């Protein structure tokens, strides 16, 4: 455990970890089952297009979330694009800027304007009062994001959508296995989209899915993800290729077998961070709500520079030098990325909470490849940095000038 600032790797000390610690290294499910499925797929020579593993995977996910329809896809970005189109969103759609850029891109890709809306600084999710203020005659929908697995107050947002005649989609990329007031995420709005990308805590290598209870919407999405084919040579709709492959579905099934284990490890890690960071001035773990079940996929700390004496970016630099690859998710906010910053150069004026939060938060390493010993070490560094922030800051600036 490092006890003096001269031991920090930024000042030439030995890095606390000899190998890089990542925020999200892929979780691997039941390896034997996956190997069996793989041989089975090769033997059957059925690699994609409504294969038996994809069908089983869709059935399992729908059942788990208590939703009627699940349509598995190649990734969440395509799933979002298709769901947006199938819902007939156009004009303007209200989204948070505090999200992965794919949420905004999936709209702009089809020339729908993402209207960035501010967040509640407590939950970092869309602020319902702010949503109401962003509605114009051109607004056709809302895309809420369950950021870091925290439910985007789905019942309240549903009410806003209903009262204003807006379509409602949730980007649930972070919220697989989470619930809100006893109802699983996946069951809210007109539809919800999960991501099964390798870095999400449950993965299918790459993958995604749309969940909905509406039969006509599910049917349209199914057609659109397969070029609009109904039957062998009858195309009844414009479509694209969003299909999930059999091997990806098999990876998903192998992962589902160990889902509870992944969650238990994440929860243990979160609790370890919580215990080790207790009493560290100016470093606060973002809390989870009492009325939600969590997957604890993200451990997010907020750095209060006025108390640590050192800003978030320097803290991230210090951690990186120690081989702790903490990430500034989702800095600088979609509104400061292209093409949005050129389209809406003044967007920041309406996003005061987003602007502040993106400069203060940092995601810390967790998942099945990070153990409590490593977490104690990381927290020890954070404690040192926060207790002697002012001095470290001065020293870092002096080194930079030299």
Ligand X SMILES: *Cc1c(COP(=O)(O)O)cnc(C)c1O
Residues that bind ligand X (CB under 6 A): 75-77, 99-100, 102-103, 145, 171, 173-174, 195, 197, 208
Q: Minimum distance from CB of 61 to ligand X (Å)?
A: 14
Q: Minimum distance from CB of 101 to ligand X (Å)?
A: 8
Burial class (CB in 10 A: 0-12, 13-18, 19+), 57: buried
Residue 47: HSE in the Cβ half-sphere, 13 Å Cα cutoff: 2
Q: Minimum distance from CB of 390 to ligand X (Å)?
A: 35
Nearer to ligand X, 77 or 308 (CB): 77
- Residue 24 gets which letter from DSSP? B
Q: Minimum distance from CB of 127 to ligand X (Å)?
A: 17
**Element housing 70 (H / E):** strand 69-73
Q: Minimum distance from CB of 107 to ligand X (Å)?
A: 12
Angle at 267 between CA 247 and CA 322, to 5 degrees: 90
Q: Is 29 in contact with 196 (CB distance < 8 Å)?
A: no
Nearer to ligand X, 46 or 205 (CB): 205
Q: Minimum distance from CB of 197 to ligand X (Å)?
A: 4
Nearer to ligand X, 174 or 220 (CB): 174
Q: Minimum distance from CB of 334 to ligand X (Å)?
A: 10
Nearer to ligand X, 34 or 145 (CB): 145
Plot region of 111 (φ>0 → left; ψ -120 to 50 → alpha; else → beta): left
Q: CA-to-CA distance for 338 and 108, rounded, in angstroms?
A: 11
Q: Minimum distance from CB of 351 to ligand X (Å)?
A: 17
Cis peptide before 339 (omega within 30 of 0): yes
Write down the residue that tokens 């979330």 correspond to.
65
Q: CA-to-CA distance for 202 and 24, rounded, in angstroms?
A: 11
Nearer to ligand X, 16 or 175 (CB): 175
Q: Minimum distance from CB of 198 to ligand X (Å)?
A: 9
Q: Minimum distance from CB of 200 to ligand X (Å)?
A: 6
What is the C-alpha R_g of the chain?
22
Nearer to ligand X, 77 or 272 (CB): 77
Nearer to ligand X, 178 or 314 (CB): 178
Nearer to ligand X, 184 or 384 (CB): 184
Write down the residue that tokens 């609009």 correspond to.
228
The tokens describing 183, both together, are 């109802």
Q: Is 364 in contact with 273 (CB distance < 8 Å)?
A: yes
Nearer to ligand X, 166 or 210 (CB): 210
Nearer to ligand X, 199 or 213 (CB): 199
Enumerate long-range contacts of 153-161, CB under 8 Å, 24 or more apart. Answer: 153/123, 153/125, 153/126, 153/128, 154/180, 154/185, 154/188, 154/189, 155/180, 155/181, 155/188, 156/128, 157/126, 157/128, 157/131, 157/189, 158/188, 158/189, 160/128, 160/131, 160/132, 161/189
């Amino acid at each position: 455990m490092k006890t003096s600032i001269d031991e920090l790797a930024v000042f030439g000390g030995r890095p606390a970890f000899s190998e890089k610690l990542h925020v999200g290294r892929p979780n691997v499910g039941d390896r034997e089952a996956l190997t069996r499925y793989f041989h089975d797929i090769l033997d059957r020579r059925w690699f994609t297009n409504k294969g038996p593993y994809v069908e089983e995977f869709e059935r399992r996910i729908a059942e788990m979330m208590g939703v009627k329809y699940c349509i598995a896809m190649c990734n969440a970005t395509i799933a979002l694009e298709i769901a947006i189109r199938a819902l007939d969103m156009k004009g303007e759609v209200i989204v948070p800027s505090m999200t992965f850029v794919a949420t905004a891109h999936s709209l702009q890709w089809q020339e729908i304007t993402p209207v960035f809306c501010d967040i509640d600084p407590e939950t970092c999710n869309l602020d319902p009062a702010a949503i109401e203020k962003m509605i114009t005659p051109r607004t056709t929908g809302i895309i809420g994001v369950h950021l870091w697995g925290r439910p985007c107050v789905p019942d309240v947002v549903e009410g806003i959508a209903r009262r204003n005649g807006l379509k409602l989609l949730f980007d649930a990329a972070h919220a697989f296995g989470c619930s809100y007031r006893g109802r699983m995420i996946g069951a809210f709005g007109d539809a919800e989209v999960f991501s099964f990308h390798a870095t999400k805590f449950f993965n299918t290598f790459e993958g995604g899915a749309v969940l909905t209870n509406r039969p006509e919407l599910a049917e349209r999405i199914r057609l659109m993800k397969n070029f609009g084919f109904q039957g062998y040579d009858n195309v009844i709709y414009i479509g694209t290729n969003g299909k999930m492959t059999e091997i990806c579905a098999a990876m998903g099934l192998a992962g589902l077998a160990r889902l509870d284990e992944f969650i238990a490890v994440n929860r243990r890690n979160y609790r370890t961070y919580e215990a080790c960071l207790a009493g560290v001035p100016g470093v606060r773990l973002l809390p989870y709500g009492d009325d939600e079940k969590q997957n604890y996929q993200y451990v997010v700390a907020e750095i209060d520079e006025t108390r640590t004496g050192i800003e978030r970016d320097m803290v991230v630099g210090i951690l990186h030098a120690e081989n702790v690859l903490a990430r500034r998710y989702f800095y600088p906010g979609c509104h400061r990325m292209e093409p949005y910053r050129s389209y809406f150069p003044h967007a920041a004026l309406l996003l005061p909470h987003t602007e502040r939060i993106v400069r203060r938060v940092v995601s810390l390493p967790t998942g099945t490849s990070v153990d409590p010993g490593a977490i104690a070490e990381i927290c020890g560094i954070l404690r040192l940095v926060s207790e002697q922030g002012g001095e470290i800051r001065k020293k870092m600036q002096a080194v930079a000038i030299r």
